[in-house]
Structure 1
Amino acid sequence: MALHLLEDWCKGMNINPRNCILVTGVPEAFDEGAIEPILRVSTEYLSKCKMRGRMFVREEGAFAVLCELPSAVEPLQVPGTIAVEDGEWTVITTGSQPSPVPASDVAFLKKMSAFLGKEGKTLADMPGLLGLDPGVPQRESAPSPDEWVKALGQALEKVMPPHPESSPYRKLRLFSGGPTPIPGEEAFEPWLEHTTEMLQEWAVPDAEKRRRLVECLRGPALDVIRTLKLSNPGVKVKDCLEALDHAFGRTEGSDDVYCKFLNARQQKGEKVSAYIQRLEKLLQRAIMRGAVAVGQMDRTRLAQIVRGIQYQNPILLHLRLRERQDNPPSYSQLIKEVREEEERQAAGEVWEEEVTILIANETRRD
């Protein structure tokens, strides 16, 4: 009955019942002006509620009070009862159940509410996550268990990142760094190059990348990371690779590495995309040696490409690389644009060659 009273009262006042609560059991002799302040201090969630009216309920011998909140009410945030000096008041929302809710359901909804909160969502966002139109009236019959499972799965897909184990990836190549290479082990430099590229591609948390890195290490190389984790259990993958580079890489100083990067030029007959890929390896080594800050990576890369590409290269002009140095693209975006431009130019050259052959054939006929 109380729920029907809430809905009918809101309809009569032309306000949204989802934004309202109904407080019942308020004694007849209770001061009307003290009701709203008591509700506001009872819980932080009700601190902005506004009393819209009260009505005497003959069957209960007490008043019912209608209050409105600024936004849709989340039932889990509203206490079922409010303790007062002479007893307690009962709070009804449109999400209230006519019968007691099983404890397991309450616990699940609380966990769901907490999870959505961490993702910046609330239970009120569920209709949108499920692709439902909040303006469409809900059907009277309850959804079947299968429908709930399907709907919940759709919602979780939208707010949860993919689980690391569900992300397809190739296992990293083995590396030990020992005096006697293990079967299938390659030299450190190509191993580091391959591993760095793979770790950059995987869209998983840094901790998962570190776990996968440790999986491929053996012997002395594994000992390096174990020692590193003793002093810093949450060490980043970048620092792990840097430690391995110091232990097994070429003994080059940061100045030497950076000098090689700055002296890298496009070679005769070398595609721009191939030059950028070759340059990227030198840039990554410079970053690992501390010669280039990660935050300056894109700007440093583009500046060297502009210097290193052969003068008046059409790709340099068509992609306006000189003009984009203040807002440089990422490596993936840059290499994509360059390869597409190379394919476009190659297609144009083929077309020009075909036209030339066609004109030559027509000339011979004449």
Structure 2
Amino acid sequence: MNFDLTPEQMLLKDSIDRLIASRYSSLEKREAYRKEPLGFSEAIWAQFAELGLLGLPFSEEDGGFGGGPVETMVVMEALGRGLSLEPYLTTVVLGGGFLRHAGSAEQKAAYIPEIVVGNLKLALAQTERQARYDLADIATTAEKTDRGYVIDGQKSLVLAGDSADLFVVSARTSGEQRSQYGVTLFLVDANTPGISRRTYSTQDGGRATEIEFSGTIVSTDAILGPVDGGYPFLEHVIGETIAALSAEAVGAMESLHQLTVEYLKTRKQFGVSIGSFQTLQHRAVDMLMALEQARSMEMYAAMMVGSDNADERRSAISAAKVQINRSARFVGQEAVQLHGGIGMTMEYIGAHYFKRLTMIESLFGDTAHHLHQVARVGGLVAAA
């Protein structure tokens, strides 16, 4: 099987690598972007639009560039290597994913061109405090009235929720609280009356928002996909997001491993570089092995995320997340150990990679959750 990138994919990789390397060349630059009003650089976001990155996964018919999971993987790896703060994952992969799979022709025509040029940012309002990682555990309600639907409920940990112009909101229109049937998705303007937001910093330097919907009225035109049938789309897009997040983790692990090896070469003890100690060399190789295991599962996730078989797709994505989580924890912890005290200081970029990897480990399901998902279907390979 050929795992080489096509010439077009190599051009994409070169372009995004150069951009991220120039704009995220130091921790000081990243911290300056983080302190901007939206928590990221709007100038870099505009550059994403100029390069066509914001339209990458959308079809040419919808105004995009017809990229697939591999192209998304290439971009997300680069963003991971640079610890990019821009809301690419939430807007293009998450929000854009719902529009691609569930949006009507009118919704696509209205919103996708605005995403492509950088004028519209999206966020998914899905997680609720009681739900843990159960996508179907939704207590937020949407009651049908003669004016449309009235949404009431609370959503937690809405990534990039403070900068979003449009929310994809999951709400229950029928069924029991944990039933997969009865979930409906809505596109809700962030400035709609009845929405209140409270934003806070996350440990990796990003932002998340607690959102309350109180008598928030939306029209029937805001419905994304079929009424009561939003769960399959929710599961599918979250799967695509996990695949993209896996690529970001691989990019971050790659940079952290390189940073650690360089430190071992330059840090001296007893008159020699500590990288000359065989035990530390072995530990650096162990980090590389964990990175390559994660890379193989990242590629597997990118291959399987488009599968028409929902069960195969689900188990593949969960298996990839298990390995990504394990590798991220191992590489992060080893990097801190090999750096010593400096590995935990916020003035050193290595600590920020570690914090981002720790955040990724729990996003959209921790190791135990996804291991249970794989075991529940009997594993990736059926027993003989």
Q: Which TM-score bucket, shorter chain as reference?
A: under 0.3
Larger-Rg structure: 1
Which protein has greater RCO, CA pairs closer than 8 Å, 6+ apart?
Answer: 2
Quick check: which one's strand share is greater?
Answer: 2
